[in-house]
Amino acid sequence: MRNAPTILHLDMDAFFASVEQASKPSLRGKAVVVGGIGPRGVVATASYEARVFGVHSAMPTAQARRLAPNAAYLMPRFALYRSISDQVMALLRELSPLVEPLSLDEAFVDLEAGNTAWDEASAREAGARLRADIRAVTGLTGSVGLAASKMLAKIASERAKPDGLVLIEPGTERALLSPMPVRTLPGVGPATGDHLRRAGITTVQELSEAGEDELVRLLGKAHGHALYAMALARDDRPVVAEREAKSVSVEDTYAVDIHDRLRIGLEVRRLADRCVRRLRGAGLSGRTIVLKVRRYDFSTLTRSETLRGPTDDPSVIREAAARLLDSVDTTGGVRLLGVGVSGLADYTQEDLFAQAAGELAEETPEESAPDFGPERPGPAAPEWRAGQDVRHPEYGHGWVQGSGLGRVTVRFETPLSAPGRVRTFRSDEAGLEPADPLPLVAQVEAATAEGETDGG
């Protein structure tokens, strides 16, 4: 581990929800929940105002509605989130060639590799400048952590939230880590945390006091060695420049073995939907669907099916995962299930998958809520979705607040306007049409105008 705090971790604050608040003046300072809005939907991101009520990501939307009934519930606009993420990642690459994105809204940066920082003062200056640049370019806020390792930089950014900067000074790492729960460390998930708790280990200090040999006995050689080093604030993992993802997958381990075949099928369907959300969040699709099943006796089976072309269609992926499950004997119960997609691409060939047409025709948007679906309605039978950008020839740009019973309610406002008026139309209103998102900040238009002035 280096001596200077030149590893930077950036985490955009409540990213999806913050984008929606920035683009919709009437929602600023209000509780906003982004995700699937149907009865089987799942929260993708909650604004800090919604988190006050206990709403958090991965929570069922139905539960979120009970906790925060007055929040605004919006479908995600992934194309917009990706475009803003690209702007943020471009700012990071101006700091260093070593940028390791973890998701659309999170990344590590090695400032030393870019000769951007070499000590505490220069690292703090680089972090402050980055936060200012992000706000100027996107209108959003990000929290920055600075430390001598990736683990500590991520911990620092968590402490900086929201909209802050925290630098962990060299020499203070052990004192900072000691009282923290073991789940703070990378690689300690719910199962490992429970295993350590049963052994009487709940804090990082207790982890270090247990000793390396005891941790190896409890967790195995590789995991035990790694956790002991991290408990001593040692983390030599380098920042790795962006590499092409080979697969996207999700899996769940169950505290009690699942025996009921129907429930196993429902779990596989739920995992397939989660996998689709990750695919779409990364702007990817894939050809090969993979099912992983760990049975009651710890034997692990993997089955795969390769399609004729890449897809991110939830119905297709659910169907393929269900077919793969049909080939697996789950007698005796299962401990773990997983669904993944490999053979990734940045485009889809949905026309190749006619086998899903029947299911798609039968489902309503509410019934397939975990599928975030298309953001624009079809011309024949408009299906307006909450949060969707629209335009009206008389009232201008707006967004859909809600729809149903043959009506659609729209609030007409832009990112640069005051909170706008609400109007309700028939859902087949001739003048109402889908629109592209507008820029969140004025600089884009200002720069264009300045260029035209200079040219004159």
Identify residue 180 by its one-letter amino acid code.
M
Identify residue 123 by its one-letter amino acid code.
A
Give the whole-angstrom CA distance, residue 73 versus residue 402.
9
Instruction: Tell me whether residue 188 is exposed, middle or buried, using C-beta atoms within 10 angstroms of its C-beta: 0 to 12, 13 to 18, 19 or more.
Output: buried
Q: What angle do CA 98, 132, 71 make, to 5 degrees?
A: 100
> Rounded to the nearest 5°, which phi and psi values hold at 399?
-145, 150
Q: At what angle do helices 120-138 and 78-95 cross, to 10 degrees?
A: 150
Q: Which residues are annotated as a binding site?
A: 11, 105
Q: Are strands 106-110 and 99-103 parallel, antiparallel or unpaired?
A: antiparallel
Q: In DSSP terms, which residues pair with 181 in a beta bridge?
A: 203
Is 106 labeled as catalytic in the residue annotation? yes
Peptide bond into 419 cis (omega under 30): no
Give the whole-angstrom CA distance, residue 379 versus residue 406.
15
Residue 130 CB partners (closer than 8 Å, separation 6+) = 8, 10, 91, 92, 95, 142, 144
> Rounded to the nearest 5°, which phi and psi values hold at 169?
-70, 140
Q: Which residues are annotated as a binding site for Mg(2+)?
A: 11, 105
Residue 309 CB partners (closer than 8 Å, separation 6+) = 287, 348, 349, 352, 353
Give the whole-angstrom CA distance, residue 152 versus residue 3.
12
Exposure string of 39-53, with b = 16+ CB inside 10 Å and e = fewer, is: ebbbbbbbbbbbbeb
Q: Determine which helix (DSSP H) or strand (DSSP E) holds 7, and give its type and residue range.
A: strand 7-12
| Straight-line distance from the first to the last Cα atom of the chain, in angstroms, rounded to the nearest whole number | 55
Dihedral sign, Cα of residue 428, residue 431, residue 432, residue 435: positive
Three-state DSSP class for 187? coil
Q: Which of 106, 112, 173, 319 is catalytic?
A: 106
Active site residues per annotation: 106
